[in-house]
A and B are shown apart, each in its own frame.
Chain A
Amino acid sequence: MASVIRIAWRNLAQHRSKTILVGILITLAIGLDVVGNSILASAQESLKKTFTDNFTGNVLICPQGIRGGIFGASNGGNGNGPPILPMMKDYEKVYATVKTQPGISSLTSQISAYVMFNLGGGGLNFGLAFGVDPQSYFKTFNNVDILQGHRLASGETGIMLHEKVIQTLEKENDVHLKVGDHVQLNNFGEAGFKIRDVPIVGIFRFKAGNERSFPFMQPNFVDVNTLRALQGKPILTPADLKFDTQQKAALDISDADFFSGSTVTGVGSTQTKTVSLSSLDNILGPKTAKADPASTQNGAWNYILLKLNPGVATAPFILHLNQIFQKEKLPVKAQDWVDSAQPDSGIFMAISFIFNIVIWVLSIVSIIIIMNTLIAAVMERTAEIGTMRALGAQKSFIRNLFILETVTVSVLAGALGLILGFFLLILLQVTGITAPNDFMKLIFGGAKLYPHLSGGPLLTALIMLAVISLVSWIFPVLMALKVSPLKAIQSD
């Protein structure tokens, strides 16, 4: 073996231009892979932390029909406006079941909906609203800094607006908004046209790293009953409400019907009655919840969000929950932060996917260049290989010789690539990568990302190195093995 090593080393030195070319390609491919994947892995960790700490928790439970996450699920609308997401059936049973599971540090419930702000200034602006129970929500997600006013309190009717939403609303409607002003929220989704007037209780920004790209994507916090009412959903559980036929009929109309003074058809009756505003107020009573939904856990919700204790593995926990839901025939599902943070997480995953495609395309190009270089090297060495075969070298000797040359170049260049990658990562750890925009701030979990090397990118780099080495060298080695001893004579 020592002789094979000696010949292999000397051949590499003899054909140093080819060795250096191949080595540089492998070094660059591995270095780029290590740095790129480390940046992506670090960004993914930051993104995960941003979302699990601030928006989604570790586990999200939602109705089985919901596709996507808390920032606007991808369920289609009815053509008139944004979709109304299905509310969780058997919410109380689901909540009770989940709450008894070990490993949960905190949990809260949420409704997500897109609403329209009508400020009478000619502009109508979409906005994302989270309907929350403030007490449990802000205990679970300590994610806002209040700039003006106060945080929404339990049982309080009102809206907390994101500072960028305020800026957009002011610009679009040519108004100045402050805490205490009222904004009109409209919703003309599947449930018909709904209007609610709510006071601004606070103006906030998300803590560093929580910003989303566009103002309309910034979540605003609304008391849950206002959001339920906008969606035409019951404020309390059906069991809490006792209506007669006339009252039920009145509840079936939309606010648009009401404002246009249309008639209401009573359920089970062919008669029609005109309903006035005052009589409807009498029927509905005060449009506030009878009790704090957080304390009773009653009412309609889209999601239950869970934070797990440190050290509790998320995937097995989700699997366990889904098994329980299936066994109990509860029409809900548990999912992780990636599904819950759509479309943001999806955009990031797409970026990762595209980067990996670029890396693998680069690898394929490297393989082709390396393969061509090696084929040329084998053809140059045909007489030498033929001579070795004529002198009694078995094919295994030739194979070992070329594999050793392969391994030597791959290992050395791969190690150099890893060192290069480490070096660049150390530099980036010192300088950090500045996020160029809000979306990147969200992905980076702050204004700068400080990437570090972890097992995943290292493993990917090693797999890539093995693939490049194997694929690019197999064909030239097979060519070398086919060289006949006659080539020793024919080279004369």
Chain B
Amino acid sequence: MGIVDLNDVKKNYALGKVTVEAVKGVSFSIEKGDFISIAGASGSGKTTILNMIGLIDTPSSGEILLDGQPVSQLKDRELTRLRHQVIGFIFQSFNLIPVLTAQENIEFPLLLGKNPRITKEHRDYIDFLIGEVGLGDRRKNRPNELSGGQRQRVAIARALVTKPQIVLADEPTANLDSATGEAIIQLMKKINQDLATTFIFSTHDFKIVDIADHLIRLKDGQVIENRRTEGK
């Protein structure tokens, strides 16, 4: 039993009168601490799978288990709580809150819990994360004052601030130049090793796939390759 298990998961979308099968009975397991890449061409179903693992979309059939717990029957409130406590998100378009500074964006998930206070311990951890992602001098800047790479670094720190077990990154390098993209992936890898956080990222860029230590390759909504690699 892994930290994430997918058992015969299918996802259909209604597109007008046509039903599109985005994911066709996918099963795999992700171990705690994995740095896993879900790779595939555009339309292969990788974002859909990531959304279902991230509890922001539900399977049409099959079962997803997070840390052994089935999630298909959970209500919205419980799913939201699980997303907050267990999962961190890194989005392709960064999705920072435009009215908050870099530091406030990083703090934001801490304000969504039952006890929305920033403690000394939190502050220290935020300082640590800002240092880790290399944004020490940009913490007071708003997103529109940051470059794409800096925004994604803020997003990474934000995804980690609640110390989640899993971080999901949907094509985190898609809107970055190749050098910045590689630096971001290397940063994620470093944090994965330093904090033992499970990273699941989707990509269609096979140059960065090699960095992953677990590769799941998709084609037309089906797994065509599922293997552990050495990881660079």
* Contact among A10, A11, A391, A484 for B112, CB-based, below 8 A: A391
Q: Is the CB of B170 within 8 A of A394?
A: no
Q: Is the CB of A488 within 8 A of B95?
A: yes
Residues in A neighbouring B85, C-beta threshold 8 A? 392
CB distance from B184 to the nearest CB of A (A): 16
Q: Is the CB of A394 within 8 A of B95?
A: no
Q: Does A7 interact with chain B (Cβ within 8 Å)?
A: yes
Q: Does B56 interact with chain A (Cβ within 8 Å)?
A: yes
CB distance from A484 to the nearest CB of B (A): 7
Q: Is the CB of B89 within 8 A of A391?
A: yes
* Contact among B80, B100, B174 for A393, CB-based, below 8 A: B80
Q: Does A467 interact with chain B (Cβ within 8 Å)?
A: no
Q: Is the CB of A488 within 8 A of B100?
A: no
Name which of A87-95, A105-113, A154-162, A381-389 contacts chain B.
Answer: A381-389
Nearest B residue to A488, CB-CB: B95
Q: Does A492 interact with chain B (Cβ within 8 Å)?
A: yes
CB distance from A152 to the nearest CB of B (A): 79
Q: Is the CB of B97 within 8 A of A384?
A: yes
CB distance from A438 to the nearest CB of B (A): 60
Q: Is the CB of A392 within 8 A of B91?
A: no
Interface of A (DSSP majority class): helix
* Contact among B84, B93, B116 for A492, CB-based, below 8 A: B93
Q: For window 424-481 of chain A, which residues contact chain B by CB distance below 8 Å? A: none
Q: For window 112-152 of chain B, which residues contact chain A by CB distance below 8 Å? A: 112-113, 116
Residues in B neighbouring A389, C-beta threshold 8 A? 56, 80
Q: Is the CB of B83 within 8 A of A491?
A: no
Q: In the complex, what distance in Å separates the CA atom of A417 from the CA atom of B104?
A: 34
Q: Is the CB of B116 within 8 A of A387?
A: no
Q: Does B227 interact with chain A (Cβ within 8 Å)?
A: no
Contacts A390-B54, A485-B56 known; A10 to B99 CB distance under 8 Å?
A: yes
Nearest A residue to B54, CB-CB: A390
Residues in A neighbouring B81, C-beta threshold 8 A? 392, 394
Per-residue CB contact flags for chain A residues 263-298 toward chain B (1 = under 8 Å, else 0) read: 000000000000000000000000000000000000
Q: Is the CB of B83 within 8 A of A7?
A: no
Q: Does B74 interact with chain A (Cβ within 8 Å)?
A: no
CB distance from B65 to the nearest CB of A (A): 20
Q: Is the CB of A488 within 8 A of B97?
A: no
Q: In the complex, what distance in Å separates the CA atom of A486 from the CA atom of B158?
A: 18
Residues in B neighbouring A393, C-beta threshold 8 A? 80, 112
Residues in B neighbouring A412, C-beta threshold 8 A? none
CB distance from A83 to the nearest CB of B (A): 72
Q: In the complex, what distance in Å separates the CA atom of A393 from the CA atom of B104?
A: 15
Q: In the complex, what distance in Å separates the CA atom of A387 from the CA atom of B89?
A: 9
Q: Does B98 interact with chain A (Cβ within 8 Å)?
A: yes
CB distance from B220 to the nearest CB of A (A): 20
Q: In the complex, what distance in Å separates the CA atom of A10 from the CA atom of B100?
A: 8
CB distance from A391 to the nearest CB of B (A): 5
Q: Is the CB of B109 within 8 A of A394?
A: no
Q: Does A100 interact with chain B (Cβ within 8 Å)?
A: no
Q: Is the CB of B80 within 8 A of A392?
A: yes
Q: In the complex, what distance in Å separates the CA atom of A486 from the CA atom of B56?
A: 6
Specify which of A391, A393, A488, A492 lies most central, judged by the most chain B CB atoms within 10 Å of its CB. Answer: A391
Q: In the complex, what distance in Å separates the CA atom of A6 from the CA atom of B170?
A: 29
Nearest A residue to B57, CB-CB: A486
Residues in A neighbouring B77, C-beta threshold 8 A? 394
Q: Is the CB of A388 within 8 A of B97?
A: yes
CB distance from A85 to the nearest CB of B (A): 72
Q: Does B111 interact with chain A (Cβ within 8 Å)?
A: yes
Q: In the complex, what distance in Å separates the CA atom of A10 from the CA atom of B93?
A: 21
CB distance from B63 to the nearest CB of A (A): 20
Residues in A neighbouring B92, C-beta threshold 8 A? 489, 492
What are 6 A-to-B residue pairs whose CB atoms are below 8 Å?
A7-B99, A10-B100, A384-B98, A390-B54, A392-B84, A489-B51
Besides A489-B92, A492-B92, 18 new A-B residue pairs in contact (Cβ under 8 A), listed by A number = A7-B97, A14-B98, A384-B95, A384-B98, A387-B91, A387-B95, A390-B54, A390-B56, A391-B109, A391-B158, A392-B112, A392-B162, A394-B80, A394-B81, A486-B57, A488-B89, A488-B91, A491-B93
Q: Chain B interface (Cβ within 8 Å of chain A)?
A: 47, 51, 54, 56-57, 76-77, 80-81, 83-85, 89, 91-93, 95, 97-100, 104, 108-109, 111-113, 116, 158, 162, 170-171, 174
